Chains A and B, each alone.
Chain A
């Protein structure tokens, strides 16, 4: 029905205006980013001489330098390991909790939901010292495991916030049917409910992934050995007290951001579907 309605319309003057607007804003987004890309192909000296100049040649020296100087292959592995495991852990435990909190009302369920919500409002750097002291006491400083657990914990509030809303909206009949067939709560969760909120899981996972991938604060405080550092921490090596190697820094930041862009491109469709199912209806 909708398709017919759309097909009837011709490419009109209004459409032209809409596309002009859309392309216009796309330029506002992309042009500044190109400026950064351009600066990765210039030396830091050139950047200082003429900050907003154009590159004179296409070269990737700074990328090579960033990759080698900052041992990016190690950092890349660490970033991937830490971020992926944190996101998986947070999403897994949140899905379990969100299912119960979203599907059932029981004594304390409302309180628990706002208890989990409170974490959303925590100032980012607030509790780093108490957190550090605790991890130190249980031997989780300078351990990737420690960072993963902390990251996963920070992902729990947001994930429960979103996932419980999704679970709440799934029709009751499915679960009932399965229950008549003798399925237990875990089977209903795992076999019926979880597959239905797959787009939501993707959404929650991606929205956790981005800030964790870019974060350098927690690993800087919680990790000691350089061989455990992440890409974002590696980037801070290019920031001197008074001298910054801009060219290498930007190349490094481009390398760091690329995986995110790819991930996001792959996941956009899932995210839109996920969000639509969660908040649209």
Chain B
């Protein structure tokens, strides 16, 4: 039998390395979380006694968390402006992957070492944080006069009506078109539904995919329904009736608005249920599709990946039998920044988010992030974004299922998304989709009367 002493020695050595390694780790790493976080800064302060009394004069680092890794450079540029005006304050921007952000944030706001200023979801998405007392209320603390009421509603607690975050962006959703293809085929922006269908027919006849839209990543589908159907069900008036309980989603006009998506299916890519979000963008980028139903949040993407594309935007004209005779562009407030209730620098953090409520920040935001600012009147430098901004200002409507129906489980938008996908597959009718939405939402939603 081969019993080698050296291999035992090897193992002992490994164990020692392991133990040493663990010890080293704990030495380096545990200390900062164990001790008071301020301790490390004291060393840097020259006059210790003075610093102890007048703490605010110290250098402060505020950590900002976000779910938008693609904006990292832009945010750093924006925050440079704040740092220049506020010596002693450093803003550190950390972006996490969007799909796990809610989880990261919920835990991050629980313990030490979390962000001072987290980016938080709007409407229903902010409620769990509010209910758990993880954000500081901002009313009376900072000046929110620049925002319209609708913007502040997006960051208010449902139960107490207080504002818990500064809204930053607003999104609008409508039709992009490839102007080169339109020129080639002699097409113009349609003003009526008939013209819209005529445009789609010409595109189809010329072997272009008329409308590029995904039905595999279903979250886009409720937006598509709003973009083409909001006029049909009556837009804001219907929303008010739903909220008051005067109508429900089984309303024939609402059913008809869902049916519009099915009616447009011949103009979508073949096998649309197999087309992912990325695929649908690829179709539009590569010049295979004439129209893309999309959001203002995608302007930056087109500029990065298709800088040579000649793009325009138009609102989908009112559908036949529409209850509203002007187009409607659905929109919603998106992304806001709050203050962590456990922040060690609450005053500095509040000052910082107060700056985010100023036109100076709003203008920087729309220029650098390439999104519409939640503060009205900001001027995007990108003409396409300006076009979205103008359209939304002219034909405003709400993306109802996000704005009103994410305050409980299940979300209205998820029910719509799954329903429309099933409808496109032929597994559900428009009536059944509407009924599913009504059934799901009525479990937690009670009309206000």
Contacts and interface: CB of A to CB of B under 8 A. Distances in A.
A123 to B, nearest CB: 14
A69 to B, nearest CB: 10
Given A139-B30, A139-B34, A148-B25, A239 B97 contact: yes
A190 B11 contact: yes
Contacts of A133: 110-111
A240 interface: yes
Contact of A243 (B94, B95, B104, B300): B300
B103 interface: yes
A190 B13 CA distance: 12
B432 interface: no
Nearest to B11: A194
A242 B33 contact: no
Given A48-B281, A89-B18, A139-B34, A242 B70 contact: yes
A44 interface: yes
A156 B243 CA distance: 53
A194 B304 CA distance: 58
Contacts of A24: none
Nearest to A49: B286
B69 A237 contact: yes
A145 B25 contact: yes
Contacts of B5: 191
Contact of B100 (A51, A143, A194, A217): A217
21 contacts: A45-B305, A48-B281, A48-B282, A48-B285, A48-B305, A81-B25, A85-B21, A89-B22, A133-B110, A133-B111, A139-B33, A141-B112, A142-B33, A144-B25, A145-B25, A145-B29, A224-B114, A236-B97, A239-B69, A241-B68, A242-B297
Contact of B69 (A85, A191, A240): A240
Interface string B399-424: 00000000000000000000000000
A85 B30 CA distance: 16
B301 interface: yes
A45 B304 CA distance: 8
Interface in B220-260: none
Interface of B: 1-5, 7-8, 11-12, 14-15, 17-18, 21-22, 25-26, 28-30, 32-34, 67-72, 94-100, 103-104, 106-108, 110-114, 278, 281-282, 285-286, 297-298, 300-301, 304-306
Interface residues of A, number: 48
Contacts of A89: 18, 22
Contacts of A236: 69, 96-97, 100
A11 B211 CA distance: 59
Interface string A28-61: 0000000000000000110011110000000000
B148 to A, nearest CB: 24
A7 B14 CA distance: 43
Interface of B is mostly: helix
Contacts of B110: 132-133, 136
Contact of A143 (B11, B33, B99): B33
A133 B30 CA distance: 16
Contacts of A103: none
Contacts of B68: 240-241
B29 A228 contact: yes
Given A190-B11, A240-B68, A174 B1 contact: yes
Nearest to B28: A144
A92 B301 contact: no
A275 interface: no
Contact of B3 (A81, A195, A241): A195
Contacts of A241: 67-70, 98, 297
A128 to B, nearest CB: 7
Contacts of A50: 286
B305 A143 contact: no
B30 A88 contact: no
B8 A191 contact: yes
A272 interface: no
A141 B21 contact: no
Nearest to B68: A241
A198 interface: yes
Contacts of A238: 69
A255 interface: no
A145 B103 contact: no
